[in-house]
A and B are shown apart, each in its own frame.
Chain A
Amino acid sequence: MKSSYLRAGAALACAVALSACGGSDGQLLLGGTISGITKTGLVLTNNGGSDYAVPVPANPGGVSEFYFPDLISTDDRYSVAVKTLPSNVSECRIENASGRAAYHVYTIYITCDLKRHALGGNVGNLQGELVLVNGADRVTLQPGATSFKFAEIPEDSPYTVAVLTQPAGQTCTVSNGNGTMGTGDVNNVAVTCTP
C-alpha cells in the first residue's frame, strides 16, 4: 500500500519534470531582422505553428529585430514562413528561413516591399516651362504638356505636389496636390495655368 503511493508520487514528479522540458520551453531565441514594415498585419509561423504577429517598428524605415516569443531547443528544426502580410506590403522575402538550431538563431532576414502606386495628373494651358515637385522628386514640363507623372510612391505615404518654378508670364495652381496614397494610382492632381 505504502509503496504504491510512493510509486504514483514518483511517477507524477517525473511527469511534471518532463513536461517542464516540453516543446516550447527551449532556451534559444529564434529571430533576426525585418525591414519594410510600417503597419500591423505581418504574421510569421515556425514549422506551421507558433503564430507571431510582428509589432510595427518605431522608425520610419520599418526596420527592427524580431524574435518568436516561443523559445526553441538545441537541435530543433525550424522553418519560418509568412502567414499573412500587412495590407500595404506586396511581398516579403525570407533569407535563411529554415535550419537546425545549434545556438540562438539571429540570422533570419525578412525584407518586405511596400506596394507602390503611380502619382500623376493633368495640366491645362501650359505655355512655358513648369517645374513641379513632390518633396525632393522633381518633374519639368515643357510648353504644351498635358499630363505628368512623378516617381511611384509607397501605399500610405503622403504626397505634396507643388509648383517650384512658374512658367514665364503664367501662374499655375495645383489642386488635389496633397494627400495620402491609397490602394490605387492617384491620377487626379490637376494643374491649371492662367491664360
Chain B
Amino acid sequence: MKSSLIRPALALALVAGLAGCGGSDKAEFAVKGTITGIVYPGAVLTTNGMDLAIAPAAKPGDPVTFEFPNKLEYGDVYNVQFKSTPQHQAACGTPANTIANYTDTAGRLAEINITLTCAVDDYPISGTVTGLTGTGLVIANGSTGNSGAIALPTTPTTTPIPYSLPIEVPYGASYSVAVITQPTGQFCTVANATGEMRDGAVSNVNITCVAR
C-alpha cells in the first residue's frame, strides 16, 4: 500500500520535471548582421531555406542591419550567401582585414553577428593614341590622382598605341579625360572624353595627335 502511493508520486514528479525542459525553453539563435556599402537595390541574402531582401540605407552606402525571420536551434549550421548582389555591385563578401563569419554553427558563439560588405563595380577607361611622335603627353581624369603619362613606343609606328588610365571608375561616376601636357611639337585631342560610367569598360576614349 505504502509503496503503491510512492510510485505514482515519483512518476508525476518525473513528468513535471521533464515538462520543465520542454521546447519553448530551447536556446534559439537569430541569424543577423550588418552589411556596409550597399548603394543600389537588389540584394538578397539566403541561408537555411530563408531568403531576405536587403534595401540600401536612407543614405546609400551606410551600414544596413539584417535579421532572418526564423531563428535557428543550437547546433544548426548556417551559411549566409548572396542569392543576388545589388545592381551594379557584383563584389560582395567579407570586408578586408576581417575574419569571415558568414558560416558557423549556431551556439558556438553567444550571438550571431555577420559582417558583410559590397563595393560598387569599377571599370577601366582606355583607348588608343594615334599619330604620337613627340614626347611628354600626359592625360588626366579629374583631380583624383587618375592621371597617366603616355610613353612613345620604342620603335616608330603608325599603329594606334593602346593606353588605359591607372585608376578604374565606379559605376555612376562621371569622368572627363583631357590632355594636361601636350607632347613636344604636337597637339592632341581626345574623343568621347566625357561621360558617366555604365555597366562596362569604356574603351573608346581615343586620342589623335597632329603636328602643331
Contacts and interface: CB of A to CB of B under 8 A. Distances in A.
Are A and B physically bound partners?
A: yes
Interface of A: 60-61, 119, 133-138, 153-154, 157-164, 177-181
Interface in B140-191: 140-147, 166, 169, 173-180
Nearest to B144: A135
Nearest to A179: B180
Given A133-B142, A162-B178, 17 more contacts: A60-B145, A60-B166, A133-B176, A133-B194, A134-B176, A135-B140, A135-B144, A136-B144, A136-B169, A136-B175, A158-B142, A158-B147, A160-B178, A162-B193, A164-B196, A179-B180, A181-B143
Nearest to B180: A158
Chain A contact residues: over half helix, strand or loop, or mixed?
strand
Nearest to B177: A160
A184 B178 CA distance: 21
14 contacts: A133-B175, A134-B142, A135-B144, A135-B146, A136-B144, A158-B143, A158-B147, A160-B140, A160-B180, A162-B178, A162-B194, A163-B194, A178-B179, A181-B143
A91 to B, nearest CB: 20
B69 interface: no
Nearest to A138: B174
B52 to A, nearest CB: 32
B195 A135 contact: no
